[in-house]
Structure 1
Amino acid sequence: MVTEAGDRRSWLVLAGLTALAAFQPLGCEQKGKGDSALGASLSALLESAGPNVIVPALADAEAKALALDEALARLEATLTAGDDPAADQLAAQEAWRAVMSSWQRVELMQLGPLGSSLTALGGEDLRDEVYSWPSVNPCRVDQVTADGSYAKDTFFTESLVNTTGLDAVEHLLFAAAENVCPAQVTPNSDGAWEALGPDEVARRRVDYARVLTAGVLTALDDAQARFVEDGFSEALALDDPNTPYESEQQALNAVYDALFYLELSTKDKKLATPLGLRDCGETICPDDIEHLPSGFGGPAIAANLAGFRALYTGQDGARRGRSAG
C-alpha cells in the first residue's frame, strides 16, 4: 500500500510535462517553431535550456571542481611535509561536497552530449566521465590505489567508469584506512595493502584523487564546449541544421526524458531500493544508499530537486540551486 501511494505521488511530479507533451502533435512533422501560444512557450523552453540552464550549471560544477583540485593540492603538500593532515582532509571533503552538490543538479540535465550514447539522441556519455553512480566499485578503487595504475598515461582509456569520476573520489576521501576488498583478492591476497602502510595509502589516495579530478575537469570542459562552441544549445532549439532532433516534439521529449531521472533514479534507486520498497530482496538495503561513505545522500536528493526545477522552469541551475541551499 505504501508503494502504491508513493508511485501515485511520484507521477504527479511529472504531470505538468506530461500535459505539455499531450498537446503536441504526433508523427513526423517539419522542423520549426509552432505559431500557437503553446508552441511559443515550448520553443522558449528549448531555447532557454542550453544557455540559461545547462551551460551555467556545468560552469558552476567546473568552478567547484577547480576548488576541489586546489584543496587536494594543499592536502597533498601537507602529507608530503609529514604534517597533521586532519584540517586539510576536512577541507578537501567539504570541497568534494560542494562539487557533488553542483553536479547532482546536472544529473537532471542528461540530454545530448551528457546523455547515454545508447538511449539519448546526440548522447556521448559525458555524464559517466564525471559521475557514474550506481556503477561504482570501491574495491576496484582500492586495487588501483594499491597497484598505482592511476599514474599511467593510458589510465582513463583503459579503465571502466567505476574507477573514475567523483564517485571514486568520494571513496578516496571518505573511506576508512582499511580497504574494502575480500581477503581472497588483491590487494589483500598478495599483501600489497599491508606492505604500503597507512601513510603511503593516504598519499596514494590523494594522488589518485587529483588524477580523477583532472579527468572530471576535462569532461566538464568538453561538455560545455559541446553545448557552446559545437552548438548543441542551438541544436536543442532546432536552430542548427545538424540538430539530431527531427521536430520540436522530439527535442521536448529529450528534455522530458532528462527530467524523468527524478522518477527512475531519485525515487526508485536512491529512495525506494534502500528502503526495501523495490529491487532489494531484504527488509531494507542500506548498502545501496547513494553517497554512503560521505553521508551526502540527503543533500544529493535536494540538489536533484533543484536541478529538476531549474530545467523545468528554464532558470539558471547554478543560481537557483544556491538559493535553495
Structure 2
Amino acid sequence: MKSKMTIKNTLLKAMPTLMLTSLLSACGGGSDTATDPKPDTGTPITPLITIDDEFGFWLTDLANNHILPSYQNLQDTSALLSSQAVDFCDQQNQSSDELTALQQSWRKVMSSWQTIQWLKVGPIVNDNRIFRMHYWPDSKDSVGRGVTNLLTTSELVTEAFIATQSVGSQGLPALEQLIFADNQHSLLTASDQAKRCEVLTAISANVATISQDVNSEWQIIGGNYHAQLTQGTGDFSSKKDAVEELVTNWLEQIERVKDEKMLVPLSVASPGIPSIAEHVLSDESVISIQKNIATFKVIYSAGGGHGFDDILIDHLSQQNIATEMLTAIDNAIVSANELTGSYETLLKTPEGRVQISATIDVLRAVRDVLTVDFVQATDINIGFNSNDGD
C-alpha cells in the first residue's frame, strides 16, 4: 500500500489541473482577446486534504507498519513452536536444554501476541479466535480444568479434537501449563509424559492454524481485511469509524494493562496476588506489560509513519496536545522498563510495589490525555466505558 508521502503526492498531482482551471476562469473561460486580463501566476493552488484523508493515512500506515507485520510474526513464531513441539516429542529421551529451547520458543510466540493483543477487530474476533488464542483473565481456572480434562481423556487428542474443546484448552495459556509445569508434571519426568506430548503437539498445531488463518485473512492477496480497515468499508461505516474502533481498542488495552495486569495483582498490601497475574508459571508478566506499553507508541505514531502526531500538529495545529500525548506515552514506557526481575518479587517488596504503582499512575496519565484532550482535538468518539472507578 502507499506510504503517507506517496498518498499525499498522489493528491498533489491534481495541482496542474486545478491551476489550469483557475487560470481559465481568470481569463473569462479561455478567450484569446487582447482585452482579457493576464492570469495570476502567483502562489499555486494546493489540493485540500481533509481530516478523513488524514485518518486514511494513519490507518494505512498502521496496517502496513504494525498490524500486518505483527500477524506475520505471530504466524511465523507459532509455526516454529508447533514444529519444535513435534521434534521434542518424537525423541526418546529429551534433555533439559531441549525443554528450555521449547520454553524459549513459547516465549517468542507470547511476545508476538502481546504486541498485537490490543487489536480486537477483524479476523481475530471471528470464530472466537481471540479467546482460543489467549484466554485470560481466568478467574474460574478454565485453562487448568481444560488441560486436566485433555490429559485424562481416553480419546486421541488431535488438532481437530482441540478445536472442539473449551477456549481455555486451546491456546497459549494451556501451552504454558504444559511447557512450564513443575518437576512432578514436567514434560521430561511426568508419568503421563506421552499423553502430555500428545496434548502439547495438538494445542501447538491449533495455535499455529489460528495464527495462519488470521494472518491470511488480513493479507491483501488473501482475505484483504486490510482494505476494509484502511478504506473504512465492510465492518466499518467510514474511515473515521475505523479510527474510532481502533482508538477504543487502544483505550481498552490501556485499562487492561493498568487494572488486570497490574492493579489487581498488586492488591492492597504485600505480597499482592501473584497467582492471578497473566503469566504465573513462565513469569513473563513484566515482559508482557512492557511489550503492551511499548506498542502504545507504535499505535500513536502508526509505526513511524503518518501518526496522530502528524495529524495533531500539521492538520489540526495542536502542538501542545501532541506533545502532551507523546510525553505521557514515553513516561509510561520508561516507567515500565524500570520493572525488572520476577513479578512475584516486585509484588511483595516495598520497592517493587512502588515501581508498579508508579507505572499504574503514568498509565492513568496516558488514559486521561487520550480520553479528554486527544478525542476533543480529533473529534472522535470512543465506545469504551471505564468502570474501574479510579
| Same-fold call, TM cutoff 0.5 | yes
In the alignment, is the contact (CA less than 8 A) between 1:274 and 1:284 conserved in 2? yes
Report the Cα offset of residue 52 of structure 1: 2.6
The number of aligned residues is 254
Residue 70 of structure 1 is matched in structure 2 by 83
Q: 2: CA distance between counterparts of 1:220 and 1:153?
A: 14
Q: What is aligned with 2:133?
A: 130
Per the alignment, residue 55 of structure 1 pairs with 68
Match of 2:265 among 271, 274, 277: 274
- Partner residue in 1 for 2:170: 164
Distance (whole Å) between structure 1 residues aligned to residue 304 and residue 176 of structure 2? 27
Q: CA deviation at 1:35?
A: 5.1
Check the 8 A contact 1:61/1:103 in 2, yes or no: yes
Partner of 1:98: 108
> Bigger shift: 129-138 or 167-176?
129-138
Offset at 1:41? Answer: 2.5
Residue identity opposite 2:279 in structure 1: H
Task: Give ranges in structure 2 of 5+ residues lacking alignment.
Answer: 1-46, 306-336, 338-390
Q: Which amino acid aligns with 2:227?
A: E
RMSD: 2.9
Q: Matched residue of 1:125: which SS?
A: helix
Question: 1:140-199: CA deviations, max 9, x gaps?
Answer: 3123112254615652343111011111000000112557xxxxxxxxxxxxxxxxx954
Asked if structure 1 preserves the Cα contact closer than 8 Å seen for 2:124 and 2:130, the reply is yes
Q: Counterpart of 2:52 in structure 1: which amino acid?
A: G
Aligned to 1:182: none
Q: 1:64 touches 1:98 (CA, 8 Å); kept in 2?
A: yes
Instruction: Give the one of 176, 190, 202 matched to 2:182.
Output: 176
Shift of 1:73: 2.4
- In the TM superposition, what whole-angstrom CA distance separates every residue of 1:238-296 from its partner, at most 9, and x where no partner exists? 265xx12112221111111221233232111010110115xx9x983222111101111
Counterpart among 214, 224, 231 of residue 224 in structure 2: 231
- Which structure has the larger Rg over C-alpha atoms? 2
Counterpart of 1:206 (choices 197, 206, 216) is: 197
Are residue 310 (structure 1) and residue 308 (structure 2) matched?
Answer: no
CA distance in 2, matches of 1:211, 1:163: 10
For 1:310 and 1:275, the matched residues in 2 are separated by: 27
In structure 1, what is the equivalent of residue 13 of structure 2? none
Runs of 5+ unmatched residues, structure 1: 1-33, 116-122, 180-196, 318-324
Partner of 2:342: none
- CA change 1:84–1:76 in 2 (3 A) is closer
TM-score, structure 2 normalization: 0.59
Distance change in 2, residues 1:308/1:124 (3 Å): farther
Matches within 5 A, 1:281-292: 284-292=272-280
Q: Which moved more, 1:46-55 or 1:85-94?
A: 46-55
Q: Relative to structure 2, which stretch is displaced further, 65-74 or 197-206? A: 197-206
Structure with the larger RCO, 1 or 2 (CA within 8 Å, 6+ apart): 1
- 1:4 maps to what in 2? none
Shift of 1:48: 2.2
Does the alignment pair 1:110 with 2:120?
yes
Instruction: Output one character per residue of 1:66-115: Cα deviation in whole Å (capped at 9) or x when no partner.
Output: 2212322232133xx2x252111111001101111111111022222223
